Amino acid sequence: MSAHLLSVDSLSRDYVDHLFDVARRMEPIAQRRKITRVLEGAVLGNLFFEASTRTRMSFHSAFSRLGGSVCDTTGFTFSSMAKGESLYDTSRVISGYVDAIVMRHPDLGSVAEFAAATHVPVINGGDGPGEHPSQALLDLYTINKEFERLGKALPGAHLLLTGDLRYGRTVHSLLKLLSLYPPMQITLVSPPGLEMPSELIDRAENAGHRVSQRDTLQADYSDVDVVYATRIQKERFTQEMVEGFSLSSDFSVDRAFLDQRCSTHTIAMHPLPRDSRPGANDLDVDLNDDPRLAIFRQTDNGIPVRMAIFATLMGVADTFDRDLRDVGWQPPHRIGVDDADFIALK
């Protein structure tokens, strides 16, 4: 494990197990019952050169809840990159200001290039269609927690990944991460032209997973444990692709799909944002009060997982819970209006 978190490639099973253990210990803080100041005095540089709400804010929140403070910059327009500055210069300069960096950038490989110019830990918050390792970690953390609640196990599970598997970086990182685990069945369902890159499929197969590909959701998925839907990433399409794009069939994951094609114990996940406009063919809002919808448990889990990533990279994973204090304010009993009992704050 390097001092950065750039790709799932650098992760070992032991590292991930340890990280999840740290994330579990972070939960009282993430659930607003305890306070730590273990990163007091440290500053995070949150550099987002591509659209983001949850990734940027959850890294910000996670660092703040560890007692650190955050400098933020968004978009190219107001950055020196708009004046032609290189990633090397930006990296070196920002490294003099902050103690950890999260970066999102539209170009594949750009975050790694940025990280090569600094000794300050850098976390890849998404490099174009490349990777999004912290999302994959929180996704797997969520799957583990959901399986624990449902009395299921990861080995032998059946996961269905659907949507834009070509440009969706979250599914690239997730599929790589699953390769560290015992064999599972993985079904990939995408519109023609948006299939998972073949090298990632080969890698999953080499790790022992049984991978199958389809181009329609109109099939029997009654033994599927997890449906992981993704948004069609039209912003990454070439002009030609935008003009020629039409869906061959219905890719929306809605209540009818879960009721008719899946089972009462299938959970629905999504990295978000989901496209909630009518006809978007994404994860449907009609599942909002359905306990199978795990997307908000997933986003909530992003906080302890990102806190664990910072704690691990910054050397406080073993010490942060030595001097926890109780919160002095009244946290809500439940976060969302449709939250089921099992995610109520304890």
Extract long-range pairs of 330-333: CB within 8 Å, 24+ residues apart: 331/31, 331/32, 331/33
Nearest residue to 79 (alpha-carbon basis) of 67, 93, 96? 93
210-214, strands of its sheet edge to edge: 210-214, 185-189, 158-162, 226-229, 267-269
Task: Determine how many CB atoms are found less than 10 A away from the CB of residue 103.
Answer: 27
Residue 310 CB, nearest distance to ligand NCD (Å)? 17
Q: Of these, 46, 110, 142, 170, which contacts ligand NCD (CB under 6 A)?
A: 170
Report 208-247 residues binding ligand NCD (CB under 6 A): 231, 233
**CB of 191 vs ligand NCD, minimal distance in Å:** 15
The nearer residue to ligand NCD, 216 or 233, going by C-beta atoms, is 233
Nearer to ligand NCD, 68 or 126 (CB): 126
Of 115, 117, 118, residue with least CA distance to 105: 115
Q: Rule CB under 6 A: which of 260-319 touch ligand NCD?
A: 271-272
Q: Which of residues 130-169 bind ligand NCD (CB under 6 A)?
A: 132, 135, 169
Closest to ligand NCD by CB, 9 or 259: 9
110 is a site residue for ligand NCD (CB under 6 A): no
How far apart, in whole angstroms, are the C-alpha atoms of residue 82 and residue 296?
Answer: 36
Considering only residues 32 to 91 of the shown chain, the ones binding ligand NCD according to CB under 6 A are 54-55
Which of residues 38 and 272 has its CB atom nearest to ligand NCD in the complex?
272
Q: How far is the CB of 270 from ligand NCD (least distance, A)?
A: 8
Q: In a 3-state reduction of DSSP, which class is residue 192?
A: coil
Query: How is 231-272 classified by DSSP, letter by letter?
Result: ---GGGS-HHHHHH---SS---B-HHHHHHHS-TT-EEE--S
Binding site for ligand NCD (CB under 6 A): 54-55, 126, 132, 135, 169-170, 231, 233, 271-272
